[in-house]
Amino acid sequence: MLTTDTLTHLWVNLGWPLTRLLLFLAVGLLVALVIESLNWTKKLAVIARPLTRFGHLSPLTGASFSMCFFSGIAANTMLAEGYDTKKLSRRELILANLFNSLPNNFLHLPTTFFIAVPIIKGAAFIYLGLTVGAALFRTLVITVLARLLLPATNTGEIAQADPSTEQRPSFRAALQKGLQRFRRRIRKIISYTAPIYILFYFLNEAGFFSATQRFMTEHLSWLSWLSPQAISIITFQVAAEFTAGLAAAGALLAAGSMSSREIVLALLVGNILSSPIRAVRHQYPYYAGIFSPGLAAQLILFSQGFRAISIVLVTIVYYYMTL
């Protein structure tokens, strides 16, 4: 029989986080569907138009890019809806998901900034500048790849419609249409997201992710080019959370045991090593609800692989520029 403590633990660590995630997913889905029903896609796409035009990307991808500055869930929902309705090919869907690297980075930047600056001072500006630079690099590379891989006719929808013939539904009509589609989509999202989230919760409780992170931290001998203090920061960052790595870095910086350069390099390496596990653990449950489970795994694999490559490149550049 479940005790009160067990029920409280389940609610705090599983019930409430899952409920909150589903609420965010529901809001993101509804917002995306209403925006599409209002025919606002072209208006949102204006921000990214120079990049989408060059990259032969559709207005829907541009709208998702703009939306991603405010909500990653809503942006991904727009892409999923476009893919399901055949407005996006599978190739463009993958490229669009990668294209959103820059706004997705900016979405989390304020929180990271206000945590990092008080702890590691000036090193935070360098670290965040390098990670934003890596995100910008990813977006620009994807724009070039999209130009090579997608047909030029893909941007045809960007042309402005004739005002006399363009349909402008009322907000009420768009909301009703969005709610009808919302009811169909939310059932699918919950049917995938909830079971996968619960499975990942019990895997975490069983120590699966902790064991994986321990394995990674125990096999860091190839990082001999870094100091032992830097290895300790990476260990905290991989085994715990980013803030744990920051706390360790702040203590070592304050004690004068490490320079800002060493701190930045350690945080970049920790970022590369810790992100894939966290992506699988935190992103996959809701990605599998928005997209199909197989497609979700493919999108995360591409995004994390490309992300790791870009951060490796900026780490190498920073390492040699500061010798």
- pLDDT score, position 277: 82
pLDDT value at position 217?
67
Instruction: Average the pLDDT over 119-136 and give the result.
Output: 93
- Distance in angstroms (rounded) separating the CA atoms of residues 104 and 64: 11
* 233-251 as b/e: b if 16+ CB within 10 A: bbbbbbbeebebbbbbbbe
Per-residue pLDDT at 162 exceeds 50 = no
pTM over 0.85: no
Instruction: Determine the pLDDT at residue 163.
Output: 43
Higher pLDDT, 218 or 161: 218
- For residues 274 and 251, is the Cβ–Cβ distance under 8 A? no
**What pLDDT, on the 0 to 100 scale, is given for residue 42?**
67
Question: Which of 35-44, 82-91, 111-120, 236-245 reaches the highest mean pLDDT?
Answer: 82-91
The average pLDDT across 86-104 equals: 93
Confidence of residue 173 (pLDDT cuts 50, 70, 90): confident
pLDDT band at residue 126, thresholds of 50, 70 and 90?
Answer: very high
Convert the pLDDT of each residue in 206-246 to its tens digit. 887 777 767 766 766 666 667 778 888 888 787 767 788 88
Burial class (CB in 10 A: 0-12, 13-18, 19+), 144: exposed
pLDDT of residue 156: 56
Q: How many CB atoms lie within 10 A of CB 84?
A: 13
Q: Return d(Cα 97, Cα 95) in angstroms, integer.
A: 5
pLDDT the model gives residue 94: 96
Q: Which two tokens stand for residue 39?
A: 């025919």
Q: Do residues 81 and 289 lie in contact, with contact meaning Cβ atoms separated by under 8 Å?
A: no
Of 1-5, 82-86, 316-320, the least confident: 1-5
d(CA 95, CA 119): 36
Name the least confident of 222-226, 254-258, 290-294, 301-305: 222-226
Place of tokens 């040699």: 320
Supply 19's token pair: 């409920």
**Residues 313, 309: Cα–Cα separation, whole Å:** 6
**pLDDT band at residue 303 using 50, 70 and 90 as cut-offs:** very high
Which range is least confidently modeled, 41-50, 91-100, 258-267? 41-50
Q: Which residue has the tokens 């203590």?
A: 251
Is residue 150's pLDDT more than 90?
yes
Q: Tens digit of pLDDT for each residue in 40-56?
A: 766 777 778 899 999 99
Predicted local distance difference test score (pLDDT) of residue 224: 67
pLDDT at 158: 41
Query: For residue 161, what pLDDT is reported?
Result: 41
3-state helix, strand and coil shares in percent for the chain, rounded to the nearest 5: 80, 0, 20
